[in-house]
């Protein structure tokens, strides 16, 4: 077990799923999925510039295993100092798998609105 398995935060991820009907395809919220043992860290100004997002409202979520979200997913923090904050996933998760010991993902999140809203 490593630090990648024991992050102090937990989140609920609501992925967007494609729904086809007579009018075409739309995206709708799917079933919420709980993900625990992750770490949420603010993005530095340098990282934000490289990613094209705002530093003060962007965070990196780091965890191990399979990330259930995707582009357009909503992420709500359910445990940790950011509890109650809601974020949108910005882009796809980056997957690191060169070694089983260091395998993990990171996801860039952008704040949706203020705490408790």
Rounded CA-CA distance 77/37 in Å is 12
Query: φ, ψ for residue 47 (rounded to 5)?
Result: -65, -40
pLDDT (0 to 100) of residue 62:
95
Rounded CA-CA distance 75/61 in Å is 10
**Full domain range(s) for residue 68:** 3-113
Residue 92: CATH number of its domain:
2.40.10.270
Q: Is the pTM of this model over 0.75?
A: yes
pLDDT (0 to 100) of residue 116:
44
pLDDT (0 to 100) of residue 79:
95
Q: pLDDT tens track of the chain, all 117 residues?
A: 566 677 899 999 999 998 998 889 988 999 999 999 999 988 876 766 676 665 557 899 999 999 999 998 999 999 998 899 999 998 999 999 888 888 999 999 988 865 444
pLDDT (0 to 100) of residue 4:
65
| Number of domains within the chain | 1
């Amino acid at each position: 077990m490593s630090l990648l398995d024991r992050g102090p935060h937990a989140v609920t991820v609501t992925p967007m799923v494609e729904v086809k009907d007579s009018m075409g395809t739309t995206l709708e919220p799917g079933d919420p999925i709980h993900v625990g043992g992750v770490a949420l860290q603010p993005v530095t100004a340098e990282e934000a510039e490289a990613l094209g997002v705002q530093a003060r409202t962007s965070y990196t979520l780091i965890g191990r295993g399979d990330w259930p979200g995707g582009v357009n997913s909503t992420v709500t923090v359910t445990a940790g100092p950011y509890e109650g904050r809601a974020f949108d996933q910005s882009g796809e998760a980056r997957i690191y798998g060169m070694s089983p010991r260091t395998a993990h993902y990171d996801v860039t999140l952008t704040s949706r609105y203020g705490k408790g809203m």
